Amino acid sequence: MAKTRPGIPTKTKTGKRDLESYTIRGTNKIVRVGDCVLMRPSDTGKPPYVARIEKIESDARNNVKVRVRWYYRPEESLGGRRQFHGAKELFLSDHYDVQSAHTIEGKCIVHSFKNYTKLENVGAEDYYCRFEYKAASGGFTPDRVAVYCKCEMPYNPDDLMVQCEGCKDWYHPACVGMTIEEAKKLEHFVCTECSSDDDIKRTQNGFSSSPAADVKVRLVAGSCLCFP
């Protein structure tokens, strides 16, 4: 079942009017339709919920409500958090709600996966999304995802990876028998499968630390991403 979020849905009444923006209580931050926001959970021990504002409206008593589309954290999905999920990863769900605007705590940015990996500095307000998520069935869109390394896992932007100059695949240091510290000192890397090839051409860009292109893909099926 879809996760219940705090707040009480508003029934349709006369006297409602759409608003272009809302100023977060106690701040000078303004949110508009399309912005991503942090919303206060009912359990103070949990991190704030993340949602995208779809509509802002006020009733005859000037009570402001927002229609939101929820982002789910991996641990909130039916499949749970997996090894390849980044700390700032979110899934854009098909779960909509109407909430009191007073539950908005702040603004945040949900980047595309590609743009997130290009950030030089990741702030507390930065998140990323690479999947849409069906809350009832646990299904994901897209249903295929690039995988890397011997372990054939999707890329986690929190993890350092090294690229083989022969096959151009990406590897976790631990999967090729080296430490993170050793990997950071590398100027060039060749995997064991390519190490016997005398005609390896070194990449013009030298050593890189994150996958730049899809190498292999694996199906995303059922209620979780199907990886070991």
Same domain, yes or no: 184 and 137: no
Measuring CA to CA, how many Å separate 65 from each of 51, 82, 208? 14, 35, 47
Asked if residue 124 lies in contact with residue 147, where contact means CB atoms within 8 angstroms, the answer is no
Q: Does 178 reside within a domain?
A: yes
Where residue 197 sits, what CATH number does that domain have? 3.30.40.10
pLDDT digits (tens, 9 = 90+) for 51-101: 999 999 999 888 999 999 999 999 999 989 998 999 999 999 999 999 999
Query: Average pLDDT, whole number, for the chain?
Result: 83
Same domain, 197 and 98: no
Classify residue 9 by burial, with Cβ atoms within 10 Å: 0-12, 13-18, 19+: exposed
Q: Is the pLDDT of residue 34 over 50?
A: yes
CB-count burial class (<10 Å; 0-12, 13-18, 19+) for 118:
exposed
Query: 100 with 68, same domain?
Result: yes
Q: At 114, which CATH number?
A: 2.30.30.490
The predicted model gives 106-124 an average pLDDT of 95
Q: Is the pLDDT of residue 204 over 80?
A: no
pLDDT at residue 43, as a whole number: 87
Same domain, 44 and 120: yes
Task: Please tell me whether residues 29 and 131 are part of one structural domain.
Answer: yes
Whole-angstrom CA distances from 42 to 54, 91, 127 are 21, 21, 22
Kindly provide the residue ranges of all beta strands, DSSP E only, lying in the chain, ordered along the sequence: 17-18, 21-23, 30-32, 36-39, 49-58, 64-72, 89-100, 104-112, 126-133, 140-141, 144-147, 162-163, 170-171, 216-219
Domain residue limits at 96: 17-141
* Domain co-membership, 33 together with 106: yes
Sequence letter at residue 95? H
Its pTM stands at 0.77
70, 27: one domain: yes
The one-letter amino acid code at 138 reads: G
* C-beta neighbour count of 224 within 10 angstroms: 16
Q: Report the distance separating Cα 163 and Cα 191, nearest Å.
A: 9
Looking at the structure of the chain, the number of domains it has is 2
DSSP string for 14-29? TT-EE-SEEEPTTS--
DSSP annotation of 82 reads -
- 23 shares its domain with 121: yes
pLDDT at 228 over 80: no
* Whether residue 133 sits in one domain with residue 31: yes
| Residue 138 to residue 183: CA distance in whole angstroms | 36
Question: Are 128 and 50 members of one domain?
Answer: yes
The better pLDDT of the pair 63, 2 is held by 63
Count of C-beta atoms within a 10 Å radius of residue 34 = 8
